[in-house]
Amino acid sequence: EVQLLESGGGLVQPGGSLRLSCAASGFTFGNYAMSWVRQAPGKGLEWVSVISVSGDNTYYADSVRGRFTISRDNSKNTMYLQVNSLRADDTAVYYCAKHRGWDTYDAFDIWGQGTMVTVSS
Binding site for other proteins (CB under 8 A): 35, 37, 44-47, 50, 59, 61-62, 95, 100, 105-109, 111-114
- Between CA 102 and CA 47 the distance in angstroms is 18
- To other proteins, the closest distance from the beta carbon of 83 in angstroms equals 18
Nearer to other proteins, 65 or 76 (CB): 65
The three-class DSSP label of residue 54 is: coil
Beta bridge partners of 68: 83
Looking at residue 88, its amino acid is A
Nearer to other proteins, 14 or 103 (CB): 103
* Residue 35 CA: distances (Å) to CA of 12, 14, 30: 23, 24, 13
- Between CA 33 and CA 103 the distance in angstroms is 6
Nearer to other proteins, 23 or 45 (CB): 45
- To other proteins, the closest distance from the beta carbon of 94 in angstroms equals 11
- To other proteins, the closest distance from the beta carbon of 39 in angstroms equals 9
